[in-house]
Amino acid sequence: MAALPPVPPDGHLWRRVPDLHWVDDGAGGLRPSSAAFEDDPEGSPMSTILAEESTLSRAFAPVRSHPRAFALACFPVAAAAERGLRAERDPTPDEPAHVLVLGSKTKSVRSALGRASVWAWPPPGQPYP
């Protein structure tokens, strides 16, 4: 099996953000909370999608029937790398552009990722593309 190409350092990562992680941005809108950038509670690294290699439709496919609403945050791969995190490809059958973000996500790192993020698909997130 051939080695996977590295995640481009100038790429962008999408992170699905459920409504419980939307907070007031102080300017009348919403932003992702730092909790949106935590690893999975069961121990898996933070799951993202390489934006340049996916589609909004594929990004939302896993949550279309979920009872919660989701938005899609976008942050540069470089923002993660600058904080000591590593983006590693982890393709799945449904999402070949799936990427794990590895490394320690302290509160300050998670907050920095939130500040580096913009909405690729803003709240309220429905209907999905």
Q: Where are the domains of the chain?
A: 12-121
Looking at residue 103, what is its pLDDT? 97
Tens digit of pLDDT for each residue in 49-104?
999 999 999 999 999 999 999 999 999 999 999 999 999 999 999 999 999 999 99
The first and second tokens of residue 86, run together, are 């590593």
Q: What is the arithmetic mean of pLDDT over 102-119?
A: 96
Looking at residue 1, what is its pLDDT? 62
Flag whether pLDDT at 19 surpasses 90.
Answer: yes
Looking at residue 124, what is its pLDDT? 84
- Say what the alpha-carbon torsion angle 29, 33, 37, 43 is, to the nearest 10 degrees: -140
Run of H or E including 110: helix 107-116
* Residue 81: partners with Cβ closer than 8 Å, 6 or more residues away: 9, 87
Q: What is the arithmetic mean of pLDDT over 117-123?
A: 95
Flag whether pLDDT at 48 surpasses 90.
Answer: yes
